[in-house]
Amino acid sequence: MVYILETELLEDKSIYFSLTKVFGIGQFQSFLLCKKLGLSYNCKLSNLTPDQVIKLIKFIENSNLLINSHLKKSKIMVTKNLVQIKAYRGIRKIRGLPVRGQRTHTNAKTASKFR
């Protein structure tokens, strides 16, 4: 396992899929990162040289991507702001009800469990 960007990535998987394990990097961002760095997305993480790994880490850090703890903090701050300004979504979040317009008559059992 390789420890990159506060996440342990599997060496036997391709770069494309192993980068998606980082919180905040999805499949599209992973594809773009591979394309911009000139890496084949089929190439396994174990086949990368240490220079390529360092280049990958520096490129992700220099880009304006929110990843891992920074993304989690920003999501928490957004929800705190919604609660503070008493927005509809914030009130629904406090009460433990569905936030995005789902029906509550029959299907809100799982949303009300997550308090």
Q: Residue 104: its pLDDT value, please?
A: 83
For the chain, give the mean pLDDT: 88
CATH code, 86? 4.10.910.10
Q: pLDDT tens across 63-79, in order? A: 888 889 999 999 999 99
CATH code, 39? 1.10.8.50
Q: Residue 2: its pLDDT value, please?
A: 79
| Mean pLDDT score, 34-56 | 90
| Domain match, 54 and 95 both | no
Whether the predicted pLDDT of 46 surpasses 70: yes
Q: Which of 43, 62, 81 is the last residue of a domain?
A: 62
Q: Residue 112: its pLDDT value, please?
A: 65
| Domain match, 50 and 93 both | no
Q: How many domains does the chain have?
A: 2
Q: Residue 85: its pLDDT value, please?
A: 96
Residue 81's domain comprises 69-113
| Domain match, 27 and 12 both | yes
Whether the predicted pLDDT of 114 surpasses 60: no
Cβ neighbours for 10, distance < 8 A, ≥ 6 positions apart? 1, 18, 21, 45
| Domain match, 8 and 49 both | yes
Q: Which of these, 82, 37, 6, 23, lies nearest to 15 by C-alpha position?
A: 37
DSSP symbol at 105: S
